[in-house]
Amino acid sequence: MDQRTAIKPVPFFLVTGFLGSGKTTLLKRFIETYADGKKLAIIQNEFADINVDGRELKATGKSFELLEINKGSVFCVCLLSDFTSSLIDLLDTCQPDAVILEATGLADPIAIGQLLMADRLKMKTYLSHVWCIIDTTSFLPMETLVTRMVHQVRIADSVVLNKTDQSSAEETQQVEKRITMINPHAEITRTKYCDIDLFDIFKEITATSNSPTNTNNINHLISSGPPNIFSAVVRTTGNIARKDLEQFLSQYEMNTYRIKGYVNLSDNSSVSVQSCFGKTKILSVEKSMSPTELIALGPNLDHRVFSNAFESFL
Burial of 304 (0-12, 13-18, 19+ CB in 10 A): exposed
8-state DSSP, 175: H
User: What CA–CA distances, in Å, run from 152 to 18, 160, 251?
Assistant: 9, 12, 29
The rounded distance, in Å, linking the Cα atoms of 215 and 199 is 6
Q: How sure is the predictor about 169, in pLDDT bands with cuts at 50, 70 and 90? A: very high
8-state DSSP, 291: P
Specify whether the CB–CB gap between 97 and 10 falls below 8 A.
Answer: yes
Domains of the chain: 3-205 (3.40.50.300), 230-311 (3.30.1220.10)
Q: Dump pLDDT digits (tens) for 223-242.
A: 233 345 677 888 899 999 99
Residue 167, pLDDT above cutoff 90: yes
8-state DSSP, 212: P
The rounded distance, in Å, linking the Cα atoms of 135 and 190 is 11
Q: Dump pLDDT digits (tens) for 242-287.
A: 999 999 999 998 888 778 888 999 999 999 898 876 789 999 988 8
The reply to whether the predicted model has a pTM over 0.75 is no
262 beta partners: 272, 293
